[in-house]
Structure 1
Amino acid sequence: MALSSPSRRGFLSMSAAASIVTLGVTGTFSLLPAQPAGAAQEGAVYPFQVNVPEEALVDLRRRVRATRWPAKETVKDESQGVQLANLQKLVRYWGTDYDWRKVEKTLNALPMFLTEIDGLRIQFIHVKSKHPNALPLIITHGWPGSILELLKVIGPLTDPTAHGGTAEDAFDLVLPSMPGYGFSDQPTEPGWDADRIGLAWDVLMRRLGYEHYVAAGGDWGSVVCDKMAHQAPAGLLGIHVNMPATVPPEVAKFMRAGDPAPDGLSADEKAAYDQLNTFFAKNGAYGSMMTTRPQTVGYGLSDSPAGLAAWMYDKFAQWTYSGGEPERSLTKDEMLDDITLYWLTNSAISSAQLYWENNANNFNAVDISIPAAVTIFPGEIYRAPRSWTERSYHKLIYFNVVDKGGHFAQWEEPQLFSAEMRAAFRSLRQLT
């Protein structure tokens, strides 16, 4: 699918200091800024800031206080889902001491921008390194994440000399919010799948003046990177993923049937097979629902703060390297920052629609021929073995297994993730 030049279709005018304003009494909020001078120019990139009106936060706290809680689970573990006591503790803090304004202050201190690509406004952070010859890097977040999960790597990647690296390790960093997520526009028609996002990211990087760049991501970010690698735009030097798609077709057919691991697998391959079999059998219902019925699941998530918090906290608990206690990896404020972003932007449905658009098993082997780097974190949904990874990524320039961190690698272990970025892309810097 070819991306068109930026158009005026669906364009809402904007100001450099965009804000969220209420729409009626429904409790929904939308970005409605006023247009700055020059914004109508094709390819315009202009500043963006967040300023949520107080009534939106008052409405949120009112809804939290009005939560109707379900009965307690009948087991002593999380096998039935998020435990009542854990969620009540988080949600009650959300309605009392939690402070969204700290997030706004953090975001507004960063260089944030808006630009329209193929009819949608894309919000992104763009931080240039002070070091010359920095390598441009675009990182894509996932679900239930956002650009907030990437903030802790900005310093280490753009200013490596202050974080244990050298000037030669520096990156210029571009962190976009995917369509339907955060402050980017929500698609109003089908077609915004991972392929189209990958094409949009190449437009974005070229619009920012980068002739050559690298791309990285986890979760949906890995899927987008894989798509970009297939598209192989002229400027893309290589990718890094920390949720690689590696399951060979002759193995995937057993997994689809829910069968035990086939004969002939190595110990690493069998462990990966068993991890994914458990994921699909016991932990994958969220994905099935969003892949098949995103609109249906979105009503409850858009109307109930506690429901949204439970939906997302469940994944924080399962996917962090925390033994099921996400507070060991992320603070309650960090989790609530992300949950609140979804709530205030009313993006439960629009983010879930990406699953419907993709409608594929994102762990099945890819066939990628541009340079690729992979880091395996121990708390990932599955730990891809090197043997499968080499079959999927034919120019594997870097492969490393680390000893800590989970699915939200940038969020959980920003220093380690940044070190992996430096090592993964070092050999490609000479190509810029």
Structure 2
Amino acid sequence: MQASMTSPVKHEIHPFRIDLSSRISRLELLVKNTELPSNPLYPGAGLEFGLQLDFLRDLQAHWINDFDWAKQEAKLNQVSHYKTTIGDQTIHFVHEKSQDENAIPLLLLHGWPGSFHEFLPVIKPLTERHINLEGRPVSFNVVVPSLPGFLFSSAPPQDWKDLDSAKLFNTLMTDVLGYSKYAIHGTDWGSNVAYHLYESFTSNVRAAHFTFLPFIPPLPQHIADNNIPLSEHQQVTLQRTVGWLSTDQGYFQAQTFKPNDIGLALHDNPIGQLAWIGTQYHRSSDPRAGTGPSVLTKDAILTAVSLYYLTGSFHSSVWQYARNVNPFRDYTKTPSDAPLLWSSFKYEIVLWPESHVAKVGNLVSYKEHDFGGHFAGLDNPVALIEDLRDIGRFFK
């Protein structure tokens, strides 16, 4: 499984260390001085109406009394960060290499409101040599870029599309880092970018793993009409799909059609960003979040929000939606013969049955997990690591 290398084009790569301490005092001041209502306006209003006041008050108290940014920043800096310039775009990325010379290059792509941070629990383990069930060693050289407009990557032009990001990241992998062949993983918006890579760069992308897809999910009536069998856990995911498509898409509509409204309103409002982002982690994850194997704790949510606020990238991140209207497309199959692997987590917000995943690629593995949700790297990192290692069975 020799991972072939090309001779990288001369792009300057600059080692980078996260240091956002200059903005911490303002963050702490605003968090401490933000007054929330003492009681819910309508105590009987459930989650279908949005964030619960008690949840937000609890996170604010933790932010004030227990959260240690310096400690979290040190954890973020335990992986190797870099910046490079491709065209007019500055790209931030993590690049952690295995000591195994046969390691598979693996590109991990996040979505919103994620970042490289959601993959932090899986990066180092994936670089370690692991003997799979076939007795073959598997390890990875892991690359995790920040999407354009997210955190330390520069904001792209207004007409920038996910296909542009795919072209950018293929250049990063091949011309900048010298990997002529590599594997990809995509979730949320990262799945859109990853699928563009999968179908457009067929000689470079030689394996693809997804937990989310840019294809229209089937509704219950379609599943019933076509007698598509579902497991118990898929029945739960299907109900999550109905909820997301009906009442849980308010943020999606706002960011698609009025990104400046929410972006400017919350630009210098960390509690506002916590409310807007925190509810996505709360509602899109396993209800057992924070208990093993989940590492989606209060600190994890606050670190995610702090990164957006301290980098001043909340506004440019929500433009991801406005730049890519109608991300879910009709089913087409990629021309690539590269293997496609799938992980289905019980509390994911959208369900794609095996029959539908098979429509879009060369499906070789479809795994279901009873624990986990939309942010698999935080929700169930153990399962995600295991499933990504399966790439080693198929990568050539």
TM range (shorter): 0.7 to 0.9
Q: Work out whether 1:89 is the aligned partner of 2:89.
A: no
Whether the 8 Å contact between 2:185 and 2:208 is mirrored in structure 1 is yes
Whether the 8 Å contact between 1:245 and 1:365 is mirrored in structure 2 is no
Match of 2:331 among 358, 365, 382: 365
Q: Deviations over 1:149-176 (max 9, x none)?
A: 1111112210144999977210111011
1:407 to partner: Cα distance: 0.7
1:408 to partner: Cα distance: 0.6
Cα 1:202/1:427, change in 2 over 3 Å: same
SS at match of 2:20: coil
Name the aligned partner's letter for residue 123 of structure 1: H
Indicate the residue corresponding to 2:275 in structure 1.
310
1:244 to partner: Cα distance: 2.6
Indicate the residue corresponding to 1:265 in structure 2.
226
Cα 1:399/1:263, change in 2 over 3 Å: closer
1:25-424 residue pairs with structure 2 within 5 A?
43-54=11-22, 56-70=23-37, 72-76=40-44, 77-161=46-130, 168-187=137-156, 189-206=157-174, 207-247=176-216, 261=222, 264-268=225-229, 271=235, 275-322=240-287, 326-328=289-291, 329=294, 330-362=296-328, 364-370=330-336, 371=338, 372-393=340-361, 395-424=362-391
Cα 1:267/1:74, change in 2 over 3 Å: farther
**Structure 1: where are the runs of 5+ without partners?**
1-40
Indicate the residue corresponding to 2:6 in structure 1.
none
SS at match of 2:36: coil
Cα 1:155/1:331, change in 2 over 3 Å: same
Q: Distance in 2 between matches of 1:410 and 1:109?
A: 17
SS at match of 1:174: strand
Q: Distance in 2 between matches of 1:128 and 1:166?
A: 22
Q: CA RMSD in A?
A: 2.5
1:374 to partner: Cα distance: 1.1
Cα 1:91/1:363, change in 2 over 3 Å: farther
Whether the 8 Å contact between 2:131 and 2:137 is mirrored in structure 1 is no
Name the aligned partner's letter for residue 303 of structure 1: D
Q: Distance in 2 between matches of 1:102 and 1:162?
A: 33
1:14-33 residue pairs with structure 2 within 5 A?
none
**Structure 2: where are the runs of 5+ without partners?**
1-8
1:247 to partner: Cα distance: 3.6
Name the aligned partner's letter for residue 119 of structure 1: D
Identical-pair percentage = 28
Whether the 8 Å contact between 1:136 and 1:210 is mirrored in structure 2 is yes
Q: Distance in 2 between matches of 1:167 and 1:44?
A: 35
SS at match of 1:415: helix
Q: Distance in 2 between matches of 1:65 and 1:111?
A: 32
Taking structure 2 as the reference length, the TM-score comes to 0.88
Cα 1:99/1:166, change in 2 over 3 Å: farther
Q: Distance in 2 between matches of 1:184 and 1:262?
A: 40
Taking structure 1 as the reference length, the TM-score comes to 0.81
Q: Distance in 1 between matches of 2:223 and 2:81?
A: 49
Q: Deviations over 1:233-279 (max 9, x none)?
A: 5311121111134547xx6xxx6xxx955862325479576543321
Q: Distance in 2 between matches of 1:191 and 1:282?
A: 29
Q: Distance in 2 between matches of 1:86 and 1:165?
A: 46
Q: Distance in 2 between matches of 1:171 and 1:99?
A: 31
Higher relative contact order, structure no. (Cα contacts within 8 Å, ≥ 6 residues apart): 2
